[in-house]
Structure 1
Amino acid sequence: MANTDLIYAVIGAALLIGSILPQLLRERVLSAPIVVVGVGMLIGWLMPNESQLVDVIEHAELAERMAEITVIVALFGVGLALDRPLSFRGWTTTWRLLAIGMPLSIAGVAVLGWWVLGVTPAVAILLGAVLAPTDPVLASDVQVEGPGKGEGDDDEHDEARFALTSEAGLNDALAFPFVYLAIYLATKGPPTEWIWTWLAWDLVGKTVIGAVAGWAIGRVVGVALYRVHIGDHRLVGYVEPAAAVATLTLAYGVGELVGGWGFLAVFCAALGVRAVERTSEKHARFHEFIEYTEHLLTLLVLLVIGASFISDAVFRLEWSHVAVAAGVLFVIRPLTAWIALLGDGRLVLPERLFVSTFGVRGVGSLFYLCYAMGYFSEDDGWSLWPAVSLVIVASIVLHGAAASPAMTALDRYRRRTKAT
């Protein structure tokens, strides 16, 4: 029988370690997510009975909700962190990664899953969609630092950081239509009966609704905070940072209620708030609060992923799963992102290589897989868990270890280029 008191003690100790590590391991090869996933693995190995209480397969709905909350908090934080105004020209690199790189990546992973794992086309497309989102949390060393930090260098001059951050903010939402493509293929019969509905509603309609709803909520909240005065002071002066959480939950709920993609609504709400008053120091306070909340939630999810990987997935790993993980991390993501960025004059060659390499997979993949379990049979859906969990763990370890050295090398290259 599981000892719940022991679980509380272990989780508390793990969170304490995780809260201390970011500063101690800053700019080092070993990162806090790597250590916390390792602690989760130790829990799964040394406490098999206790780890069953957080097993992803046994408690898919709990894992889905944990991942969902973590993703929406992270998306709002990413939106607040971006100093660059939203525009077609200014976000060219992002649009390339989303419109070209993401569909190519989904197709590549689907073909790999169908060929190597021998799954059905619907399950193969699900695998591609699940592994499409890049994580907005786990590679903080290669993303923008936040509102006003670095004197604007991150957003205005560091195109590589901006591209990875903005891509992660949007592709967590834009993976949803492709998850539904897999669901429809598995449940609705021949594509001729529903493909136009999917294109018009799931791919375009819900995307537009989510973006517009989120942007409108962000603008309304921003105007209320920065334009409404109480006496001699603006309303924002009386608002606690927790109002950021209220805004993101409002945006997510309304975005879903009106028929849009809630993840996209949250990200666009953050952009809308920033657009009203871009330079206020309150953005930094809101972002800091969101960052702390996001960090805590991420540590909890990483513990779950690590424990579930050891207690379940690792015993079902086969060479085919390893081949899929290697293909996703070392071939498909780098190749598809490289193709998407061809001809992009904003990035020099080392920066293009950097962006192509650091497509970290993480919490979003866990959410989408758990979400899809409500539509797929357990045999079909959970057959992907060993491969998906291996991709997540390997990405956390490899990208987490390489992020600081790669960023240092890129900065050194830029300084040499400027000097000459």
Structure 2
Amino acid sequence: MNRYYIVLLILGITSLLASFLPILIKKFKFSFTIPLLIFGAFLYYINMPLPWPNPVWEIDLTLRFSELVVIISLMVAGLKIGLNYSWKEWQNPIRLLSITMPLFMGVVFLISHYLLNFNGPISLLLAAVLAPTDPALASEIQLNKKQSVESKNVGIQYNLTAEAGLNDGLAFPFVFLAILWSKQNALGVEEWKEWLSYYVLYKVAIGTLIGAVIGFCYSYFTKKLSNNYERKIHQAFVALSLTFISYGLAEMLNSYGFLSVFFTGLFANYHKHTKDIKTESDPNLDFITNTEKFLITFWMIFFGGSVMAGILNFITLPTFIFACFLVLIARPLLGYISLKRTGLDKGKRLAISFLGIRGIGSVFYLTYAIKHGQFNDLNHIFSIVALVILISILIHGFSAKRIMKTFEK
């Protein structure tokens, strides 16, 4: 049987699933990722000739595909948030970034190093890889449309979207620190200086600046166009184009492309973030959101296959307990602590803290670090990260929509 035609068939089925699954399972109140996970496992079981893991992921292919999914998800998040939130409204997601994420990384590092007996670089890598809330797999419970100044969500959806938009870029410095450590016997003064000046200050500042400038320039240019000319722009491709331009330029200048893409999305409507902003159908946002959904669908099928292929074969009882602890206890507890003194009520604080979904971003960081660092115990790392993602998909996949429905009522 011709493998090419089989791939075309799978692509067609995947596209159809991306279109119909959210509608078909809406009344069941669980994530569309659950049936996709099962479908991927089934395709592997019947030996469908696709590039399955054997048993862990192929580094280069996984790196690039997960990278693509994440940057598109970050653009979607940025476009939905825009510049419609005040500094006071940004303080809650910033608390998740400045308190929850560092504390969570500290917990992961200490357990990995002192209880699971991983070396320093591996422990730090796991801490950085597992820290961010994923902008892709959490998209179902994030903001569902472009916000406006007059009518905007400031609760669970907004906080999760803003956190996911920023924490991917802010976890990257610690991935680089783990890479530096893996190449050295110890981190000396020079390594710390290089990390702080280049990997933290320079990369964060330049990535943010590039994204803001690109978004601002696009917004300014479209504002100058007459309505007649603006209607002639093929808007469906604009967000995708801005994503690639922003990410490509930021990476060429050795900064953080993740931050750049998110800030491009934030500033893309700089000249329109007033009370009259249109929040109905937006071809710019609609197309890239559908692209994101298609890529997530495809990724989930391969993740389901990877579980069947044996990516979890290296899990031990201690690492299983560790993964469950991170998803079910560490993130919810630390998130709740960081949001303690905010204007959010107890229920919303619990929901935001619990819904710290782990996913595709972790896979990108892991494969990036393995490609550029010198780490050992790779099979165990792959298994732990995959298990954390699987637990998150299952737990949050069955509970997130029910939680959100409770607050809607």
TM-score norm. by structure 2 comes to: 0.92
| Aligned CA distance change for structure 1 residues 343 and 17 (closer, same or farther; 3 Å) | same
| Partners of 1:172 and 1:364 within 8 A in 2 | yes
What is the alpha-carbon distance in structure 1 between the residues aligned to residue 122 and residue 237 of structure 2?
40
Which residue of 2 is the match for residue 62 of structure 1?
61
| Partners of 1:188 and 1:194 within 8 A in 2 | no
| Partners of 2:59 and 2:371 within 8 A in 1 | no
Which residue of 2 is the match for residue 360 of structure 1?
357
- How many angstroms does 1:50 deviate by? 3.1
Which residue of 2 is the match for residue 144 of structure 1?
143
- How many angstroms does 1:234 deviate by? 4.6
What is the alpha-carbon distance in structure 2 between the residues aligned to residue 93 and residue 131 of structure 1?
21
| Aligned CA distance change for structure 1 residues 377 and 4 (closer, same or farther; 3 Å) | farther
Q: Is 1:227 matched up with 2:220?
A: no
Q: Is 1:121 matched up with 2:117?
A: no
Which residue of 1 is the match for residue 46 of structure 2?
46
Which residue of 2 is the match for residue 242 of structure 1?
237
- How many angstroms does 1:411 deviate by? 2.9
- How many angstroms does 1:344 deviate by? 1.2
| Aligned CA distance change for structure 1 residues 411 and 84 (closer, same or farther; 3 Å) | farther
Cα-to-partner distance string for 1:100-151 (whole Å, 9 max, x where unaligned): 11111111112222244321111011011111121113233421111159x9
Residue 118 of structure 1 aligns to a residue whose secondary structure is coil
What is the alpha-carbon distance in structure 2 between the residues aligned to residue 252 and residue 228 of structure 1?
25
Instruction: Work out which of the residue numbers 245, 251, 254 in structure 1 matches 2:246.
Output: 251
- How many angstroms does 1:308 deviate by? 1.3
- How many angstroms does 1:58 deviate by? 5.1
| Partners of 1:225 and 1:236 within 8 A in 2 | no
User: Quick check: 259-268 or 273-282, which moved more?
Assistant: 273-282
Overall identity of the aligned pairs, in %: 29
For structure 2, the residue ranges without an aligned partner over 5 or more in a row are none
Q: Match for 1:142: what amino acid?
A: I
RMSD: 2.4
Which residue of 2 is the match for residue 416 of structure 1?
none
Cα-to-partner distance string for 1:374-408 (whole Å, 9 max, x where unaligned): 13446433321111111111111211111111112
User: Quick check: 392-401 or 184-193, which moved more?
Assistant: 184-193
Q: Match for 2:31: what amino acid?
A: S
Which residue of 1 is the match for residue 173 of structure 2?
177
Which residue of 2 is the match for residue 163 of structure 1?
159
Instruction: Work out which of the residue numbers 401, 404, 407 in structure 2 matches 1:404.
Output: 401
What is the alpha-carbon distance in structure 1 between the residues aligned to residue 27 and residue 160 of structure 2?
18
Moved over 6 A (4+): none
User: Quick check: 301-310 or 375-384, which moved more?
Assistant: 375-384
Cα-to-partner distance string for 1:173-229 (whole Å, 9 max, x where unaligned): 111101011111111342223112212221222111101110000000111112233
Which residue of 1 is the match for residue 302 of structure 2?
304
Cα-to-partner distance string for 1:304-348 (whole Å, 9 max, x where unaligned): 221112202133222122112111101111122112112112x11
Q: Is 1:208 matched up with 2:190?
A: no
Instruction: Work out which of the residue numbers 265, 277, 282 in structure 1 matches 2:272.
Output: 277
What is the alpha-carbon distance in structure 1 between the residues aligned to residue 132 and residue 68 of structure 2?
16
What is the alpha-carbon distance in structure 1 between the residues aligned to residue 223 and residue 280 of structure 2?
10
Which residue of 1 is the match for residue 336 of structure 2?
338
Instruction: Work out which of the residue numbers 168, 183, 198 in structure 2 matches 1:187.
Output: 183
For structure 1, the residue ranges without an aligned partner over 5 or more in a row are 413-420
| Aligned CA distance change for structure 1 residues 107 and 2 (closer, same or farther; 3 Å) | farther
| Partners of 1:83 and 1:152 within 8 A in 2 | no
- How many angstroms does 1:7 deviate by? 4.5
Q: Match for 2:247: what amino acid?
A: Y
Residue 342 of structure 1 aligns to a residue whose secondary structure is coil
What is the alpha-carbon distance in structure 2 between the residues aligned to residue 32 and residue 402 of structure 1?
12
| Partners of 1:21 and 1:31 within 8 A in 2 | no
Q: Match for 2:77: what amino acid?
A: V
